[in-house]
Amino acid sequence: MPEGHTIHRLAQECLERFAGWTTRVGSPQGKFADSAALLDGAVLDGVDAHGKHLFLGFEGRGWVHIHLGLIGKIAFDGDAVTDTVRLRLVGGRHGDQAMNLRGPAACELITDGEKQAIHDRLGPDPLRAGDDPGRAYARISRSRISVAALLMDQKVLAGVGNVYRAEVLFRHGVDPFLPGRALSRPLWDAMWADLVVLMREGVRTNRIDTVRPEHEPEAMGRPPRRDDHGGEVYVYRRTGQPCLICGTEVRTRPLANRNLFWCPTCQPPAPESALAADR
DNA sequence: AGCTCATGGCGAG
DNA sequence: TCGCCCTGAGCTG
């Protein structure tokens, strides 16, 4: 579920549903009950998103900092209230809007200062207007770590997860094991610009689509394909299947506890790739 | 009923 | 590098 596009979309949705109105705040599951009691009845007056971090502002009472982790989910409307709901909001103009949060890695009430500290330790986010790709490149270009690992490091770049990582590397023909220091500035700028477009589209459609029209199966004379995760992608979770462009079997390998996917033909290793510190 | 896996990230060793 | 936290879906029995 959650890469940065999901979080930014949720921020927008919370703003539209709840902002400006007093909000009932509860924690059916109990782990957020003390803070929920402090917030109950406050006006939700602002939202923010940075990478995979979501912030809900309650007038005069601080921010609820939410991180969904790998398995957290937010549902709205008629979603059933079960004993796993960590945070429940009810409010809006007619008091009939509802939000349920389940399974988050973080759900905590924090101050402005604590919120700022989170922003300070995150890298630039392609979905935050004005964020500077140069800040990410400053770290990438100094690192011997693979570009695949760097793209997932939220201190380097905020919001990209396992799907966007695999797909942006594919779209630019970059070998995942290329050390960051071997990535040129123009190539990085192109990848960033691509992420801005892909992730904005992800916010709009609520899914990750990365396949260019000319590579759609129909355009390539192949039968249509449906992914079980909702979007159309080149390599993510397509292990052993033919690359949509060249037909080579998509490969996978765990890197830093996560599965990495790539096409060894479209993303050929550079000489420096053998030297990545983390391969 | 129990296992594995998932678009994350943390802290201990 | 590993184990662990959170929940639920999709398998296997």
Mean pLDDT of the region A263-276: 96
pLDDT above 70: residue A73: yes
Delimiting residues of CATH 1.10.8.50 domain(s) in chain A: 133-275
What is the separation of C-alpha A152 from the centre of its chain, rounded to a whole number of angstroms? 10
**Percent of chain A predicted with pLDDT > 70:** 96
Which amino acid is it at A229? H
Categorise residue A21: left if φ over 0, alpha if ψ from -120 to 50, beta otherwise.
beta
Contacts of A62 (CB under 8 A, 6+ apart): A109, A110, A111, A112
Mean pLDDT of the region A24-29: 97
Strand B bases, protein C-beta under 7 A = 6-10
Q: Would the Cβ of A51 be found within 7 angstroms of any atom in strand B?
A: yes
pTM of the model: 0.96
The yes or no reply on domain A133-275 and CATH 1.10.8.50 is: yes
CA of A3 to C1' of B1 (A): 33
Element of type H or E holding A179: none
Write out the two tokens for A159.
């919001």
The model's pLDDT over A190-246, given as tens digits with 9 standing for 90+, comes to 999 999 999 999 999 999 999 999 998 777 776 666 666 667 999 999 999 999 999
Choice among A13, A258, A264, A272 that is catalytic: A258
CB A43 within 8 A of CB A197: no
CA of A140 to C1' of B9 (A): 20
Q: Strand C within 7 Å of which CB atoms in A 240-269?
A: 256-257
Q: What is the mean pLDDT of chain A?
A: 95
Specify whether A258 is catalytic. yes
> Within a 13 Å sphere around the CA of A2, how many CA atoms are in the beta-carbon half?
26
Delimiting residues of CATH 3.20.190.10 domain(s) in chain A: 4-121
Phi, psi of A15 (to 5 degrees): -60, -50
What's the CATH number for A4-121? 3.20.190.10
Q: Residues in chain A, how many?
A: 279
Phi, psi of A108 (to 5 degrees): -150, 150
The number of helices, as runs of H, and strands, as runs of E, in chain A is: 7, 10
What is the separation of C-alpha A85 from the centre of its chain, rounded to a whole number of angstroms? 22
Residue entry with tokens 């919001």:
A159
pLDDT above 70: residue A170: yes
- Measured CA to C1', the nucleotide nearest A5 is B7
